[in-house]
Chain A
Amino acid sequence: MQNNNAGASSRPSNKLLIIIISAAAVICTAVLLLFRFVPFGGNVAVISQNGKELYRIDLDKVSEAYTIDLGGNVVLVENGAVSMQSADCPDKLCVRQGKIKNGSHPIICLPNRVEIKIENDGEKDVTDAVVG
């Protein structure tokens, strides 16, 4: 490889690059782990298409699982979780993402512009138990 003739001082050393990029990788991994392991709370699934909110579902109140057909994408709503059951997009990444719960990552189907995210219903606090 050729690098002996270039002005070495004006270019970052390979060592420095490795340190910077490794650090970036560590930060990204840390943030990803944070997303995965820290429950962000939230119980409301918000389903939108083309940037328009279509459904807002309190997942804690779902007693029986059901599906929502968005034409192309079918969303499976269960107690406490939501997932993309099927999609007519070529890559099916949205389906493979599986269920999302109170974590933060939204399910996104880029080709069909469908988005499912979990939000905290700020106004209404979730009921954890009913007594009586």
Chain B
Amino acid sequence: MEINSKLKRTAVDALLTALSLIIFILEAQIPSPVPVPGIKLGLANIITLVAVSLIGKRDAGIILLLRIILGSVFAGTPVSFIYSMAGGICCYLVICLFYRFLNGNRLWALSVFGAAAHNLGQLVVASFIMGSTAVFWYIPALLLSAIITGTFTGLCACFTINRIKKGVIRK
């Protein structure tokens, strides 16, 4: 699946950015079921995975970056922007690094690794901001949550990609 024309690429990127932004803002309205900072579903990550699989790493990176910036403007604070950025960059790097091995039906595992990297990245930033290492007590909780939510978002991404490939959305 290639997108040749510049215009088309801009349009698709914008569409996916808007989608992920909507998902992100909607998710921010759902109160976290677990009282541990940093634990959330991370549904917006579905878009990142879809983008990486269908239109490439570069555009996925641009979409992610735009989503983080706009998401913080619409539904965040300067502090939450730093956390989102740290988590997003870590997640993106891990996804790019492992995509070669974990595409297709292994995407759920890629999603788990991405989510874990996201959480750990945020944790490192949190320990810097808090000036404390106590936050690392949250590692097991955050990893477990990454496995659960990562699997879920990864499976969602898989199904979405299949749908798109079956021709729901054509070139």
User: Are A111's CB and B130's CB within 8 A?
Assistant: no
Tell whether A31 pairs with B35 under 8 Å between CB atoms, given A10-B101, A110-B83.
no
Q: A74-82, A89-97, A124-132: which lies at the B interface?
A: A89-97
Given contact pairs A14-B105, A29-B144, A35 touches B131 in the complex (Cβ within 8 A): no
- Of the residues B103, B112, B137, B138, contact of A21 by C-beta under 8 Å: B112
Closest beta carbon of chain B to A63's beta carbon, Å: 27
User: Interface residue tally of chain B, by bracket?
Assistant: 35 or more
Which residues from 83 to 121 on chain B have a C-beta closer than 8 Å to any C-beta of chain A? Answer: 83, 101-106, 109, 112
**Could you tell me the distance in whole angstroms from the C-beta of A87 to the nearest C-beta in chain B?**
12
* Docked complex Cα distance between A104 and B141 (Å): 13
Q: Pick the residue among A17, A24, A52 that contacts B143 (CB under 8 A).
A: A24
Binds B, one of A1-9, A54-62, A64-72: A1-9
The interface of chain B, by Cβ under 8 A from chain A, is 31-32, 35-38, 77, 79-80, 83, 101-106, 109, 112, 126, 129-132, 134-135, 137-138, 140-141, 143-144, 147-148, 151, 158, 161-162, 165
